[in-house]
Structure formats: C-alpha cells, structure tokens
Structure 1
Amino acid sequence: MSLTLDEARRRAAMLADVSYELALDVTSTEAFHSRATVRFDTRGGDTFLELHRAEQLQVTIDGDVVTTAYDGRRIPLDGLTPGRHEVVVDARLRYVTDGEGLHTFTDPADGERYVGAYLGLDVTQRLFACFDQLDLKSPITLTVTADPAWTVLTNALPVDGTTFAATPPIPCDQLVVVAGPYHSIRWEHRGLPMGWHCRRSLAAELDRDAAELRRVTELCFDHYATIFTEPYPFDSYDQVFVPELNWGAMENPGCVTYNESMLPRGPVTDDDRRRRAMVIAHEMSHMWFANLVSPVWWEDAWLNESFADYMGFQVAETVAGFPGTRVSFEAAHKPGAYRADRRRSTHPVAPAAADVPDVATGRTIFDEISYGKGNAVIRQLVTWLGEPDFLAGVNAHLTRHRFANATLDDLLSALDAASPRDVRAWAAVWLRQAGHDTIRVTRRDDGVPVLTRDGIRPHRFTVTAYTLDLEPAGSRLIDLAAEAVPLPDWAGLVVVPNAHGETFARIHLDQLSSGAVANGLADLADPLVRAVLWSTVPIEELLPRQLPREPSPTLVAAAVDRALACSRQVTGVFDVIAAACAPTGEPDRQLALAAGLARTTTDITLLRRWLDGDAVNPGVPLSPDLRWTVVHRLAELGDLEAPEIETERQHDGTATGELGAHTALAARPTTAAKAEAWAAMTEDAGISVRRFRALAAGLWSPSQRDLVAPYIRAYVEAAPALARRGSAFASAVGRSFPALPLSEDELTLFHEALTGEVPTVLRRRWADELDDRSPENTDRR
C-alpha cells in the first residue's frame, strides 16, 4: 500500500502548517514506544496518517480517544472539520534488522547495543505516525528516553538532555535518531557545533582518521559558505558512522549518517580516502539541495542526487585536496551509467511526475541514471552554461524556495533568468529524454580528423590531440551539435574527444586513434584521459598490453572489475591479472590486483601464502576485507572447512567478520553447505539484509554450477514473498540474483515469473539482470 501521487496531491491540497512532537522510548530491547502529536490545519474532509504495523495503538483526536479502522498501514482521519486539529498517536512498534525503521544492532566485538532510525521512502511510518510525503515539510520536536550513558544524536541540538530543539521545516523522512555508546570527537567551526561519531569498538579507527575527517569537513563547509548565498540552515553538523546502513550515506539535516565501510579497519588506501571525501562533500551539499529546498514528489529526487553527486566529486577534487576523484568517477561510475542507459528500464534523468505513480516506483529511480548519468549531465550543464551563470541560477532558486518545496521547472526558470542560453531547450533533450549520443572521430582522405555526433544533444567538451607515440600535441574546448567539426590543424594526429569527461556520450575513435591507444595507453601522462580511454576502447584490446603497465591503482581496480564482469568475452583474463600482480610497485596497486586475483584464482598455494603471512607481499598487508575474500575463495575451492572459518571469525571479532564467515560457510562445495545457506536465507524471518546478502554471495559460486543449479528455481519461487518484507529486503533479494551463467530454460523461469505478481523493486532488479545477460546487450567495453 505505497502512497500514490494522486493521494499525495489530494492530501497536500487539504493540509497546511503541519508540525510534530515525537517522543520515543528505546530502553526496552523487545520493542520501542512511539508517541506522535501531530498538529495541522485542514480544509476539512477525510485524510489519513501512515503508521506501519503498530501494536497497542491508541489514537486521540482533539482530546477524544477514538476507535479507528486501522489496517496496519493507515490511520483514517475521517470527517475532519475545517480548522486546526491535534492528533495524538500512541503505539508500541518493533525494532527492525533490515535498516528500514528503528534498527537495532548488537556489536559482536563488545556486546554493546545501538539503535538508529534510518528513514527514507515509505519508512518514516515505521517510526511514528505521520503524513509520509515530501511536500508536507514540518518542524519536528523530539524527545528520546534512552540509557542515560548513551549518546543520542538527531537533527537538532538538545535543550535539556532528552528533548531536542524543534527543527526548521523538513520532510519527515529526513528525521534521524542515533543512540548508543558512541565514541565522539567534537569541536566548533565558525561558531557551529560539529562532531564525528562511531561505535565504541571503532574508536581507534576514528581517532586514526580524525584530523583528516575534520579537515575535509571544514574545507567543504567553507567552500559551500562561499558559493551559496543562503547560509547553512541548521543549528549543528554531526556526522555518524552507523552500523548496517543500507545506503552509502544519508543526508539527514544537521546529522549525516555514513555506512561504516567508510571507516575501514586495516590499511586505508588513497581510493578509500578519495571516496570518503567525495561522500562528505556530497552529503553536505544536500543541506541546501534536498534539505533547505526539497522536491514536491519523487520524480525530482534525481535532482537532489545528481546535484550532490556532481558536487561531491567536484569539491573533493578541487577543494578538499583529493586529486584523482574525477578519475574514479570516469573509471568506476560512468561506465555503469552508460550500461543502465541501454537497458529497457532506462528513463529520462528527469522523469515526469506521472511516470512515478507511487512511492514504490520512486524507490527504483535511485539508480545509475539518477547518480552516474545525472552527475555527468549536471557537469555538462555547468560546462555549457559556465559556472558563474550556473551558480547564479542555483542561488536564486535556493533563496526563492528556502524551507519549501520546488520542482525542476522552478530551477529551470532560475537558470534561464541567469543565462543568455536557452536552458529549457537544453533540458528538453538532456533531461526529459532517455538515452545518450555517440561522438565519432572520422578521417577525411587528407588525414584531417572530423568530429560528428550521432544524436540530438548539444555538447561542449575538451578534445585533445597526441602524436602517434601519444605525446601531447594540443587541447581545446569545442562545441559539437548537428554540424560536423573538422580539425584541420590536427591532420595525422591521434584525437581524443571528451578527454576530460565533461559530457555524457559514448566515444567511437577512428582506427588510427584506437590503434595508438591500444598500443600505448599506459604511456599517457594524464590519468583522467586514461580513465576516459579505458572505458572507450574494448577491454580485450587493452587488458593484456596495458594492465601490467597501468600505474594508477584506481584504474587498475576499475579495469580488473570490468574484465571480471565480462570475462566470458575476454580470453585469459585471469592469467593477465596474475601476470600483472608483480611483488613490487605501489602497495595500493598491488592490493587492487590481488583483490581481483583472490576472487578468481585456483592457486591454493598462493592463497594459503597470503593467508598465513597476512600479506600479499612483504610490506603489503592484507586488509580485513581482502583477508575475507581469500577465506571465501579457499572455502569455495574446498580447502577451508568450518573449524578454520570459525577460527577466522573469532580472530576478526567484528560484524564484518560475522558476515565474512557466513559467506565462506555458504561457499563450501558440499550439498550440506548449500542447503544450510538456503535454509538460513529463507526460513529465518528475522534475518538481516546484510546476512542475507552475505549468504547469497557464498551460495552462488560460479564454479559450483551443478551444485547450486537446483536453487535457481527455488530462488525464483521464493523471491517475491521474501521481497514483500520491505523495499530494502526486496533490493537485497534482487541483488542476490544467481551470479552464474544461466541456461535458456533457467532464464525462462524469470521471464515467466515477471508476468505475475512481483514487487516493484524486485521486478526492476530482475529486469535489469535479464537485460544485462541478453546477447544483444552484452557490453564488452
């Protein structure tokens, strides 16, 4: 019963001036108490509050206890008279372990308990009774009763220890509550209280990285304070590494939550640090674009994410001190966006409201189109308009709609007013239409390169020329539309369009350019140009000659991942990775190659040497994650049994180790191991999202096809019911699609299932998997 667009519009037209007073009691370990006082003005009539699976429910309307026809999801409010009303909803609710609601977690490292309200689409109603939609922004006053020894964090500062100040008007899904024995580092910057927090058992890792985390936070904050004319809109800025968050991070106003993978144990690579800085910049930009100004409905959620993703990579690269962040986007993120844009499920970056008829459908557009493609399209818009005009339009938009809701049309009006260019015409082809163009390099008979466009979009990008030995010979910014662009002064030279990645278009090189790149890509000095080209030239042409010589760990990791993803088309990929895995060179590069080799090698002696020495090579220790990859592979090869896996789990002693052990146990090549894993995945009603995915990662071993084949039909039959537990679980079930080649009969099972009742999120995951596996869509690049 997901809220529909029509229902949301009717409710928004009926209600105004909504506010919440919320009291939570989380002292019990069995369930929690939620008391929501909801005040609002209404034009009169019938409406409803949402509240998911409440127990011991009591509803009071304007002081009178009432009996309502509560169905487990909605509390009817019928026959309301025009004017001001107060509804009090008192309920007992269950904790969750799927990250959607008030999540409970017990740390295996020390037995400490943590709870966290991780909200989002269709989730707020699992915490308190509310009007669960974006365009009824409301101030929220929160009181939390918890263990007095705990730290409690939310969107605002406390006023008396248990009660927190009212927030400005925010969408109710942006409320956050984090409670437990957190380890904290606090300070003030520009008079604003700030903090970083983590579980007590991760205190050493936070202390290790504290100086960097503070520096990045302050640099990003100062930058946004400079480029945005609206001041930071909240009274504090906390950032919390929380256990078992389903997202990478969540932009809750004044209190951002992060997945704990961003506070790694063991060696912290440069890529780890770049990614974390990017996410810090991404989430902070949301304080303006998502929190200060919010969408009206979910079709415009892309704008929040595309804008923040662009800002995240841009600010980490140019402000926070992490050069190479854009390289990681071109190498590891943009290729997935091109792939998503070729699936049947592709959609315009900015879909119409009618294309998102309910909130469940809204969940499916938080995808590579909204993030990867949207980021690239925003970057193209900035390049096409110029940054001064872009920021002038953005600032006018933020000021005009502060603490309110706005649409894409509102933003386009502001950008149009700030620029002499026709922004609406640009948006019509870039934002309102799916698909992407191809930019081609061709040659005239006299050797002059010519750039042409297959498609409908105007492009502005850098084109770079090189000698046949790939020495730089020139670079310029050009505009390409319907008319071809000849480059007569670059006759006979190698030409790379979109060399700095400013636009979103596939690149097709001419034979001269492609041949030179295949022979000498690793010799190019600029890693950003190499990143563009690694995604442009077919991987089978690049891998044998260029991977052993590629110096960038970022590009090595991306190339290895890409090669493994299409290994059926790339002959000898495992031998290439093994050959490139020399015992010398930069440690991060060795780790990137080792990670690929550990997933695929059959060399038990090598894996045992790594495990016994806890290192890839002298001076290059295994990270905890890589160690579990080695354990997983040894178990898969039949060389590691349950007692040794248990020893590894106890030695690790963390939640990550618990999951690693589940994966390794499920990967053992025995009938009993597969049966145990499948039973745990399907018969435990309380299984967490992360444990389900860990078991699936071990179950579907590609090298054990005969052993796991019987579970393919079982998965198809069980998945729809499992997916009805909630959107996070549905996503986990969909991501657990069998990771092995499927026969035509097995593929038919999925196609037939999709003609029946399949939950929206799972349906999208399955459809995308089937598209990616169809011969006509197989991407060898």
Structure 2
Amino acid sequence: MPSLLRTEAVTRAALLTVEHTRVELDLTDPGDTFASTTTLTFASAQTGATTFVDLKATALEEARLNGRPLAVADWQDGRLPLTDLADRNELVVRARMSYSSDGEGLHRHVDPADGRPYLYAMSFLDAGPRWFACFDQPDLKSRYLFAVTAPADWTVLGNGPARVVDEHPGSWRRWEVSPPQPLSTYFVTLVAGPYASVTAEHDNIPLGVHARASLRRELEAEAEDLLGVTGQCFDHYHQVFGRRYPFGEYHQAFVPDFNAGAMENPGCVTFRDQYVFRGRATRIERATRAGIVAHEMAHQWFGDLVTMRWWDDLWLNESFAEYMARRCTSRATDYDQTTEFGLARKDWGMVADQAPSTHPIAGNGAEDAQAALRNFDGISYAKGAAVLEQLAAHLGDEVFFAGLRDYFDSYAFGNAEFAELIGSWSRAGAGDLAAWSEPWLLTAGVDTLRIERPGTADPAVARLVRVPAEQGGERRHAVTVARLDADGTERGRERVEAGPEPVVLTAEPVELLLPDAADETWARIRPAVQDWDGLTRVLARIADPRSRVALYNSLRDQVRSAELAPSAALRVLETQLPDETGDYAMAQLLGFASTELAGPYTAPEHREPVARRVHDLSRLLLGRAEPGSDRQLLAFRAAVAAGVDADELIGWHAGEGLPDGLALDPELRWRLVVRVCALVDRPDLIERAMAEDPSTPGRVHAAAARAGLPSAAAKQRAWELITAPSAIGAYELYATAGAFFQPHQTELTEAYVPRYFAEIGGTAAFRSGWSVAEAASSAYPRYATRRETLALAEAAIAADPAPGVARALIDQTDRLRRAVASTERFPAG
C-alpha cells in the first residue's frame, strides 16, 4: 500500500476540517476479524472537491457519503476516493478488519496462561486505518466517540473515560469511550480484554495501571512504585509547564507483544508488559521504567497537546520527551538517569550518527510517512535530547520554559512546526536562534574533541581541538576539561568553548586531560592518553561518574573505530570494573565485553578464550558482590550471558553452587536455559522449562533457545520461521532471529550467511512497518566478520530492497564493516 505523501497531506489538510469521528466496534466475534463502522463528520473548504479516506480493511462492506453509496470496487491500495464533497459531509464506512499479530493496528494476543484474548490498538505511525477509517495524518485532528461491544467480563479503556451504556448479563456489554479533547489519528488507542487493574488518584487525576490477568500479582506488587512515580512526574510537569494535564484520566496499560518501549496515547499510554517484572528487578530496571513513564507523560504536552504538523518534526517530539524525562526523574523522583543516558542512550545515538544512514536531527525532508519512520532512531532520541539540553543551558530555565508555555498556549489542541516553537522561544527572550540551530539541528554527523600535546619543551601545554564531522558545520561545544593526577584525583576544571580554533590549555603536568568531563555535549571524546593500560589507575579512582562515562564511551568508540585493540579494551575492563562503584556502568560494560569484544570484534578462532575471560571477570565481580544485592544479580546475569561451561550452567539451573543470597526466578531460569542451549544440543531442557513456565514470556524464551541450538535441524526450523510467513508472534519472531547466529557457531551457520542476503529482502512481501525492519536487523549475520560477508551485504543493498529491509542492511553492514576493520588491524584481538 502506498505511504501518504507529504504533498497529499498538505492538500488534504487545506481542504478538510474533521469535526467528529464515531467508531463502532464489535469485539464479540471469536474469529480473526471484527466489525468496524466509522462515521466521519467533516467540512470541505471547496464544494465539489475530491479527496480520499484511509482504510486498510479485510473487506469493505459498505460506504456512504452524504447518504450516497460509494462503489466498493473503487477502494484500492488502502484508499477510498471521495468525490463531489459538500460544504459539510458525513461519511459512513462499514468494514471487516483483521486482528494483527505484529503489534500494529488492533493487536490480539491469546495468553497461554488463561487462554483469553487481550487486545490493544497501536495506531502509530500509519496503522490507524487497520482498525477504523480515518484521514490518517497528524494535522487532521478530530473529536472522537468509541462505541465498543465486548464480552461481559472485559475491561475497555481508551483515550478518555470509559462507561458501560448497555449490557446483556453474562454475554456482552457496550462501552462508550469519550476522549475530552481532539486527537490525531496516530495516537488513538483502545485496550480491551480481561485485564487486571489497580486504580488510584493523584491531584484529582484518576490513575490506573493494567496488565494481563496472569500478571495480576506482579502488577499489584509494582503498582506502588509505578503510581508513585506517576504522581511525582505530574507534579513536576505541572510546575515547569505551567499548565495542567489536559486529557482527564491517565491509564498506563502494560500490553503483550508491544514493539516499542511505550506509546504516548493521550489518557491511555501503552507499554510493553516486560516492565511488569516477573522476576526480581534491580533498581536500575526500575529507574529505566521510571524514565519511560516520565518520557511518555512529557508527550502529553509536547506531541499530544501540541502536535507536529508533519512527520519531519517527529524528532522534536522524541528529543523533547527524552530530555524532559531525564530532567524529571533526576529532580522529582528517587531515580537519577544521568549515567543511563550517558552510557546507553548516547552510545545508541553515537553509533547511529556515525553510520552511512546518519541524518540531521531536523529537516530530513520526509516525503512520506514511512520515510519518517526510517529516521526514527538514536539520532531522533538521544542526540536530539543532548542538543536540547545544550539549548536549555544556553537560554536558561526562565527563557526555556517561558517559551514552552507560550508554545502550549498558542497551539493547544492543534498543530505546529519547529519554526513556531523557535518563535515562542524568541518571544520569551531567546533572540535569534538561527546561528545555533543550523550547525546542530540541520547538520549530520558527530564532531570529535581531541586533546593534543604539541610536543613542546613544556609538557604542561596542551590543546583542545575540535575535529568537525565530515558533513562540516561550525558547531561550538561548551565543555569542562578536567585535570587528573595518576591516582585519579582532580586538580581542577576549566570551562572552555571548543570551536574552529584550537583552545590552548596551560596547567601543571597531569596524568590525564579529559574534555567533556561532565558529559555535556555531543561529541566523540579523545583524551590525552596514549596508554589505556596506564589510564586504568586513573579511571578506577575518578570520583565523578560523568567523567567515567565520558572515558568509557571513548573506549568503546575507539574499539569500534579500529583505534584501540579489543584485547586492550578488555584489559581495561578487567582492571577497572572490580573498583567501579556504579552498578549501571558495570552491567553495561560487561554487556559490551560479551556481545562485542567476545563477538564480532574478535576473529572466530579467538572468541572462546575471550568469552572465557569475560565470564571469569563476571565471576570475580559476582564473588565480590554483597549477597542479595543488585550488583550480585547483575554480575550473575553477565556470568550466564558469557558462560562457556555448559555443565556449570546446568548445575546453576538445578540450584547447585549458586551464590549465597541468590534465588532463581522464572526469568533467571530461562536465561540459563537459553545459554545452555546455545552451547549444547539440549532441547529437553526447553521442553521441561516450558512445562514449568508455559507463559507468554516463556514462549519467547523458548523460541530463542530453539534457534540457538547447535544442530542443523534446529537451524533449518528457525530459518523457516525467519524467512517465511507464519503465525508466530512478533516477540517469538524477534527472539528467533536474534538467537540464530551465535558467535561460536560460525561453521554451523556458514551456509546461512549468503542465504540471509539472498532471502531477507523477500520478507517485505509479508511483513511491514516495524516487524520487517526488526526481524531483518535481528537476523543479520553479525558474527561472520570477514570481507566476503561485506561483499554479499553490499550487493544486497545495491539490489534496492524494500525500505525497511534496506535501512536494517545499511546500519548492520556499517557495524560489520567496523568489526572487519578492527579484526584486520588487530588480528589477534
């Protein structure tokens, strides 16, 4: 089906004003389809004009425009033409829609725990027409009423208050959901099924958290933290935005098979249900969840109250929510995400910003909706957030938030563009922001900040040099340079601005000069250090965790740029991590060691000893951790992920030799099963685990375990799931794809490397949107680190595959190219 062109959206927005949308759904049919009737009331600026309505149905049964029947045969490629419009129009569309299994449209999941169906609607980015007829673009907002007939024991939630208006006891109930404000199609939702719920109220706002009935106990255990964070975030946003939450009730539904982390539907945010923890959760995981709660709530103002006019400004929605969430959690909750943003989110964005698919934060010229989705990445989130943080520091809080309040007041319940936000900041006293926005928002790529010692007679003289991104640009970086002794003690800090000209730094001789010591800017960091082994004496003792984040990110980036040998990086981690006080840093770096240093950045013949070293490091940290602590749990997970001794792992699974204070829960048991099955052919372990835990998460873990089995038969079965149509759920598909290629199974999977490049493009014929790109990316043969793989990849890219597959190939091939460069420069690791 064609993706909506920007030119078409502009024309349709100029013509139409959508006044009201009534959606009637009958969800009582046990089959694979449901009845959907949409009544659209809209005005036309031109009598007699022609336009179209979007509908991606299984069957169009009837359509009437102003009482006039429309020809069903005219409905093609997801569009129904509308001709001879009146000044004011009523369109009625009656259709059969299919439930989805890919997390888009109206998704249906049958929980194996109770055999009951659980539904939720995901309308982003252009999936709304998969469950109701609409003019599907962000700037045609409408008021809505949903009339939903559902089984009598179901809960129905949506973008506004839900009430029962009719019922047949023991059979069905009819609900009406009435959102209080106009909505864009992409964040319209519905949640329906026998969900478990916990409700509360904060500051006169009704709150609810919801999950599948089989997660009731876990939901009730997590509700206090979830609702507490929700209230704290509301208080913070009410204070800084100067405007109360505008959408009435606030529900947070944790739903199965959800593709994204969460979706900001006004009044009814949907989350992936892994955030209702089945096993023991660490403070790190609760902090991550708090950040997502804060992120989606920020969207209620920025994105939902005021919505972008076109997908070009999608970056601003996400960058703003990313920035505000980190600020909110650190100031209003017990969870500080500073380290997480630096080590995880910025690292994600830095990798994206150095890939061939890099793009400016803004002004990407998305000519159609799907093109915007392809640029929905770490640049849109992390880089944009880092840049907005610099802008907020540049303007000061008073001007920054005054501009936002002006923006909300000026465009409430409507649409706006970035230029109009700039106008609001200018009215608040920001002045001309063009000089700031051009290099930061409209120029792609990442600069490098490098400390250079010119080799003069004075060892205290050094320079901070900005090496601009290939695309150019005159960015200026206001950063802190720290001076550190050999024992890690800071001798002082200097605030400087790195621009086109080098900055001369004059100070007493020190072991380390570290630019961006407060982790404030968006740049690759190259400190004045030649010997990372020597630097560990400094790194282990640096008090400021932000400075350690800057160094860790520099280390990872130097490995990926073939500047630092992976073996040298591993030595740094082996000497540093035993003294690293931050649990998040420890977990992230052990993950880097396991998935990258012991994976594609080491030649296949050298991987086993590297993996053993990572496992030994994890065991060392495990032995030093306090029994029962988060650190112990994180180190144990890392030891399992890097495990090389199947017998040891099988013993742990049986409860033998477990560290004091560590108890196995379902999630830990599955981690052990998945890792064991990647090492030895033990399908019996999978079947026993499934018998003990036949839940939805259990099925997903079992899919990963089966795909990882080191047998030709298991690989063939998994390959068919990846490359052929099937009824497998989205999460099971992603788990199968992600576990197929293993770093130690290169000989076993050798024949599938060329098959991947020959066959993956064909999956776009039966997958679309999120799922086609996710499966293609997850199944990429990332461990086939050699030039021959690159040649196959480049040929596949040159064959011009479907856009979702193409972006996955381009990004993953860039990562493989970096790994090949590293193994060629450092063949022994």
TM over 0.5: yes
CA separation of 1:56 and 1:297: change in aligned 2, threshold 3 A = closer
Q: 1:770 aligns with which of 810, 813, 816?
A: 813
Say which of 193, 205, 209 aligns to 2:206: 193
Write the distance in 2 (CA, Å) between the matches of 1:237 and 1:32. 27
Cα 1:756–1:484 change in 2 (3 A) is closer
Indicate whether 1:730 and 2:760 are aligned. no
Give the match for residue 654 of structure 2: 612
Aligned residue number for residue 3 of structure 2: 2
Query: Which ranges in structure 2 are unaligned for 5 or more consecutive residues?
Result: 166-174, 469-473, 559-568, 824-828
116, 132, 138: which is aligned to 2:136? 132
Q: Are 2:399 and 2:425, in contact at CA under 8 Å, matched by a contact in 1?
A: yes
Which residue matches 1:222? Answer: 235
Name the CA shift for 1:66/1:96 in 2 (closer, same or farther; >3 Å).
same
CA distance in 2, matches of 1:493, 1:128: 64
When residues 633 and 7 of structure 1 are mapped into structure 2, their CA distance, relative to the original with a 3 A threshold, is same
Q: Which moved more, 1:465-474 or 1:766-775?
A: 465-474
Aligned to 1:340: 352
Measured in 2, the distance between the counterparts of 1:204 and 1:100 equals 28
| In 2, Cα distance between equivalents of 1:651 and 1:6 | 55
Candidates 478, 482, 487, aligned match of 1:464 = 482
1:729 is displaced (CA, Å) by 2.0
Aligned-residue offset at 1:779:
7.6
- 2:69 equivalent in structure 1: 65
Write the deviation string for residues 484-543 of structure 1: whole angstroms up to 9, x where unpaired: 433435553633222221110111111379676332312222222212211123534522
Matches within 5 A, 1:102-121: 102-121=106-125
Distance in 1, matches of 2:800 and 2:489, equals 58
1:708-754 deviation digits (Å, cap 9, x = unpaired): 22233333333223223211221222222124215444433332232
Match of 2:588 in 1: 558
Contact 1:450 1:485 in 2 (8 A): yes
- Residue matched to 2:461: 448
**Alpha-carbon deviation of 1:297?**
0.9
In the alignment, which residue of structure 2 is the partner of 1:81? Answer: 85
* Residue 598 (1) aligns with residue 640 (2): yes
Q: How many Å separate the matches in 2 of 1:710 and 1:778?
A: 23
How far apart, in 2, do the equivalents of 1:331 and 1:419 lie? 34
Shift of 1:142: 0.9
Q: 1:200 and 1:27 mapped to 2: Cα distance?
A: 19
Aligned residue in 1 for 2:155:
151
Structure-2 separation of matches of 1:614 and 1:118: 44
Provide the C-alpha distance between the structure 2 equivalents of 1:337 and 1:681, rounded to a whole number of angstroms: 27
- Alignment map for 1:532-611 (pairs within 5 Å): 532-537=550-555, 538=558, 539-540=569-570, 542-563=572-593, 564-567=595-598, 568-569=600-601, 573-580=610-617, 581-582=619-620, 583-586=623-626, 587-611=629-653
Question: Aligned residue for 2:471?
Answer: none
Candidates 737, 750, 753, aligned match of 1:696: 737
Alignment partner of 2:673 out of 618, 628, 631: 631
In 1, distance between residues paired with 2:791 and 2:350? 26
**Residue 427 of structure 1 pairs with residue 437 of structure 2:** yes
Residue of structure 1 equivalent to 2:40? 38
- Cα distance in 2 for partners of 1:742, 1:72 equals 45
Q: Which moved more, 1:382-391 or 1:460-469?
A: 460-469
TM-score (norm 1): 0.95
760, 777, 797: which one aligns with 1:754: 797
- Which sits farther off after the overlay, 1-10 or 515-524? 515-524
Q: For the structure 1 residues 622 and 490, does the alpha-carbon distance in structure 2 shift closer, same or farther, using more than 3 Å as the test?
A: farther
CA distance in 2, matches of 1:97, 1:379: 38
| 1:25 and 2:26 correspond | yes
Q: What amino acid maps onto 1:349 in structure 2?
A: I
Distance 1:483 1:670, change over 3 A: closer
Instruction: Give the Cα–Cα distance (whole angstroms) in 1 for the partners of residues 138 and 328 of structure 2.
Output: 28
Letter in 1 for 2:542: L
Which residue of the other structure, out of 365, 372, 379, is the alignment partner of 1:362?
A: 372
Contact 1:662 1:694 in 2 (8 A): yes
Q: Deviations over 1:219-275 (max 9, x none)?
A: 000000000023211111111111111000000001111111111111110110110
8 Å Cα contact 2:62/2:72 also seen in 1: no
- Using the alignment, how far apart are the partners of 2:788 and 2:576 within structure 1? 39
Match of 1:289 among 296, 299, 302: 302
Map residues 361-380 of structure 1 onto 2, 5 A cutoff: 361-380=371-390
Cα shift readout 1:142-173 (whole Å, capped 9, x = no counterpart): 11111121111100002544112244121111
TM-score (norm 2): 0.90
1:488 maps to what in 2? 506
Q: Between the two proteins, what is the percent identity of the paired residues?
A: 34
Aligned with 2:176 (options 139, 144, 163): 163
1:511 match: secondary structure: coil
SS of the residue aligned with 1:687?
coil
User: 1:697-716, aligned counterparts within 5 Å?
Assistant: 697-716=738-757
Structure 1 equivalent of residue 526 of structure 2:
508
CA distance in 2, matches of 1:49, 1:779: 52
Task: Read off the aligned partner of 1:57 and give its amino acid letter.
Answer: E
Answer with 205-214 or 559-568: which moved more: 559-568
User: Could you tell me which residue of structure 1 aligns to residue 721 of structure 2?
Assistant: 680
Structure 1 contact 518–541 (Cα < 8 Å) conserved:
no
Residue 273 of structure 1 is matched in structure 2 by 286
Mean Cα displacement is larger for which, 737-746 or 137-146? 737-746
The answer (yes or no) to whether the contact 1:591–1:616 under 8 Å persists in 2 is: no
Uncovered stretches (5+) of structure 1, i.e. residues with no partner: none
Instruction: Give the paired residue count.
Output: 777
The 5 A counterparts of 1:168-247 are: 168-247=181-260
Q: Distance in 2 between matches of 1:101 and 1:634?
A: 37
Alignment-mate amino acid for residue 721 of structure 1: G
* One-letter identity of the residue aligned with 1:154: G
Which of 466, 485, 493 is the aligned partner of 1:475?
493
- 1:152-200 alpha-carbon deviations (Å, 9 max, x no partner): 1100002544112244121111111001111111112111111111111
Which amino acid letter does the alignment assign opposite residue 630 of structure 2?
D
1:460–1:73 Cα change, 3 Å? same
Bigger drift between 250-259 and 691-700 goes to 691-700
Q: Structure 1 422/452 Cα, relative in aligned 2: closer, same or farther at 3 Å? A: farther
1:585 Cα deviation after fit: 0.9
